[in-house]
């Protein structure tokens, strides 16, 4: 076991706080990259009964190495089941068997809507992004969703250019009228803190990471960010969380910068 | 013509200018060898459908094979953008039809099962529904609520790479089985490429593993290592380094064309390509065995 410095990066802080949102026994639809690290960290700490599902059609994955793509062969070897993608999106997700979805995106707006499609106009995009992938249905149908993204003003506009995946649309009431089965985003985890939806579905700052300030959060958000009257601070990463993350999960530092 | 033939012959016979094509495989078993053969034969105006166009379609678009893309995620998985596809779309030179993964898979499912359309629940997000007029809504006659519907996708040709197949095209696939079965049943014609051609008795020893039956298969081609830089579970690993390298190569069109000249036009077939990759790459991608426990079907 190497010596762990108790300093940590913004990315590590984001991953560790995302992992703490998972509950033991959750069925989680895992994305590659930082969500994958958060889920595997949770399974090795407080949530040993976490069931990890990947959109490629893998259930109960126990990746022996860091998967660099969403369909890495390490997800399959030692998994509890493999099925087609149509099955994973129907038997598992549409049917309501997925507790948690982890999502990211180029833009997240005031009501937690996600844009992963285009910056600018759809027919004449300024920047063409990869698009939905599994995100549209995960955001619609997972019981709970968490979004992970660095806290930057350009990533947090008042309104997304294109709503690839639904948060609360223009307010919680509006999502409810669509009849989509999932509860929508429960939190956006950034490198500054956590934003959580209020009664109306608007994202407000509820938590700061140690050392971060309300002014930083305001300056890096594209709308007039409300601050919770009950603002609190996350616990700093523990030596054990940092050790697992750095030594077991991403020893080459591919996602941890 | 017997089903067993060279990949060159299969592409000559079944892939024509203007066809719609689905090269199956989600990250796993992507049929790169067939993509390269299509490029070598100079096909034009193809409609290329794939959930994730991946490097195979970025290369085919760079080579001028395609006039339209049908997709649900146009990134370089684990890396970033597919630069060629992205540039073509941003410049307005490529017609697109876009879905979510589930929308794309549902279209294949409808195509594979002979349905006129297929319903799905609402997701609350409607911008993609508005951007693509193929998405429609109908009233569920039982609940009276609106459901989202999509039409079947029936490509002219599907190409599927498999671990092993017999000479008639009964194919065993294991590992990630994304949308191979759906693509094969949805398409009008199916070309299989296989790591191994095996005796029918091997297939019959484990019928539960047969994902694709011979009745939908038109051509069977023995093409080891056909999936590189994608992978074949249990045979060789994904070449993640090449996925990163492609991001660099495609920074300029000149380097992209040079790549195609050297690695596609500059080799005769997949065997030459695999030899050209060199010992170091082949060793890096080698994978240690991990066998499943056998199952007992019983003698009846």
CA distance A124 to A45: 46
Cβ distance A124 to B109 less than 8 Å, yes or no, reads no
**How many other β-carbons are positioned within 10 Å of the β-carbon of residue A1?**
5
Beta strand B66-71 with B46-49: parallel, antiparallel or unpaired?
parallel
Which of B124, B126, B129, B144 best tests the A interface by mutation, with the highest count of A CBs <10 A? B124
Count CA within 13 A, CB hemisphere, residue B242: 18
Q: Does A200 touch chain B (CB under 8 A)?
A: no
pTM over 0.80: yes
* Higher-pLDDT residue of B158, A70: B158
Domain ranges of chain B: 7-102+153-284, 117-150
* Two tokens, residue B228: 């590189």
Give the pLDDT of residue A2.
43
Cβ distance A71 to B92 less than 8 Å, yes or no, reads no
Give the pLDDT of residue B172.
98
Give the pLDDT of residue A7.
87
pLDDT confidence bin for A1, thresholds 50/70/90: very low
Q: Cβ contacts (< 8 Å) between A127 and chain B: which residues?
A: 90
Closest CA to B171 of B215, B230, B121: B215
* Sign of the CA dihedral running B167, B171, B172, B175: positive
Encode pLDDT of B63-74 as tens digits.
999 999 999 999
Give the pLDDT of residue B1.
55
**How many other β-carbons are positioned within 10 Å of the β-carbon of residue A213?**
11
* Two tokens, residue B183: 């693509």
pLDDT confidence bin for A3, thresholds 50/70/90: very low
Q: Which CATH architecture has domain B7-102+153-284?
A: 3-Layer(aba) Sandwich (3.40)
Task: Set out the domains of chain A in order of their start, with CATH numbers.
Answer: 10-249 (3.40.1080.10)
Clarify whether A224 is annotated catalytic: no
Long-range CB contacts for residues B88-95, cutoff 8 Å, separation at least 24: B88/B61, B89/A125, B89/A128, B90/A125, B90/A126, B90/A127, B90/A128, B92/A124, B94/B61, B94/B66, B94/B67, B94/B68, B94/B69, B95/B67, B95/B68, B95/B69
Encode pLDDT of B216-259 as tens digits.
999 999 999 999 999 999 999 999 999 999 999 999 999 999 99
Give the pLDDT of residue A68.
87
* Sign of the CA dihedral running B291, B294, B295, B300: positive
User: Crossing angle, helix B253-260 and helix B54-62, to 10 degrees?
Assistant: 100
Q: Cβ contacts (< 8 Å) between B98 and chain A: which residues?
A: 117, 131-132
CA distance A44 to B68: 45
Mean pLDDT of all residues in A141-161: 97
């Amino acid at each position: 076991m190497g010596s762990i410095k108790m300093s940590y990066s913004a990315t590590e802080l984001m991953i560790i706080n995302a992992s703490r949102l998972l509950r033991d026994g959750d069925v989680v639809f895992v994305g590659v990259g930082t969500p994958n690290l958060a889920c595997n960290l949770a399974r090795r700490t407080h949530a040993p009964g976490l069931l990890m599902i990947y959109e490629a059609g893998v259930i109960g994955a126990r990746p022996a190495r860091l998967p660099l793509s969403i369909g890495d062969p390490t997800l399959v070897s030692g998994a509890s089941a493999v099925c087609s993608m149509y099955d994973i999106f129907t038997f598992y997700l549409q049917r309501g068997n997925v507790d948690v979805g982890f999502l990211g995106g180029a833009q997240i707006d005031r009501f937690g809507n996600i844009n992963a499609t285009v910056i600018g106009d759809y027919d004449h995009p300024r920047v063409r992004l990869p698009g939905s992938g599994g995100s549209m249905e995960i955001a619609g149908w997972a019981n709970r969703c968490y979004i992970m993204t660095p806290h930057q003003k350009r990533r947090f506009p008042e309104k997304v250019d294109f709503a690839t995946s639904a948060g609360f649309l223009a307010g919680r009431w509006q999502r409810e009228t669509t009849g989509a089965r999932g509860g929508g985003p429960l939190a956006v985890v950034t490198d500054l803190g956590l934003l959580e939806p209020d009664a109306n579905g608007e994202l407000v700052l509820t938590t700061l990471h140690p050392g971060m300030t309300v002014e930083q959060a305001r300056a890096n958000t594209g709308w007039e960010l409300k601050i919770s009257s009950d603002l609190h601070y996350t616990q700093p990463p523990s030596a054990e969380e940092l050790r697992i993350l750095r030594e077991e999960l991403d020893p080459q530092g591919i996602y941890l910068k | 013509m017997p089903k067993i033939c060279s990949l060159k012959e299969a592409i000559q016979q079944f892939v024509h200018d203007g066809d719609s094509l689905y090269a199956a495989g989600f990250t796993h078993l992507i049929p790169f060898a067939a993509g390269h053969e299509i490029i070598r034969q100079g096909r034009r105006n193809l409609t290329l459908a794939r959930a994730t166009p991946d490097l195979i379609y970025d290369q085919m678009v760079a080579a001028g094979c395609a006039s339209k893309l049908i997709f649900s995620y146009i990134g370089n998985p684990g890396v970033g953008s597919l630069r060629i596809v992205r540039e073509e779309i941003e410049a307005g030179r490529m017609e697109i039809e876009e879905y979510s993964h589930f929308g794309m898979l549902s279209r294949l499912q409808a195509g594979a099962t002979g349905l006129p359309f297929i319903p799905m629940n609402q997701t609350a997000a409607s911008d993609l529904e508005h951007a693509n007029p193929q998405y429609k809504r109908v009233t569920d006659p039982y609940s009276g609520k609106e459901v989202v519907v999509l039409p079947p996708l029936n490509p002219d040709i599907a190409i599927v790479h498999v671990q092993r197949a017999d000479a008639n095209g009964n194919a065993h696939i294991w590992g990630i089985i994304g949308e191979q079965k759906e693509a094969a049943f949805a398409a009008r014609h199916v070309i299989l490429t296989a790591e191994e051609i095996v005796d029918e008795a091997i297939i019959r020893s484990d019928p539960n593993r047969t994902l694709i039956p011979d009745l939908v298969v038109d051509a069977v081609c023995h093409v080891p290592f056909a999936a590189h830089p994608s992978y074949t579970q249990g045979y060789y690993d994904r070449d993640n380094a090449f996925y990163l390298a492609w991001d660099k190569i495609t920074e300029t069109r000149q380097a992209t064309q040079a790549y195609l000249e050297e690695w596609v036009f500059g080799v005769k077939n997949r065997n030459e390509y695999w030899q050209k990759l060199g010992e170091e790459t082949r060793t890096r991608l080698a994978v240690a065995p991990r066998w499943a426990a056998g199952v007992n079907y019983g003698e009846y």
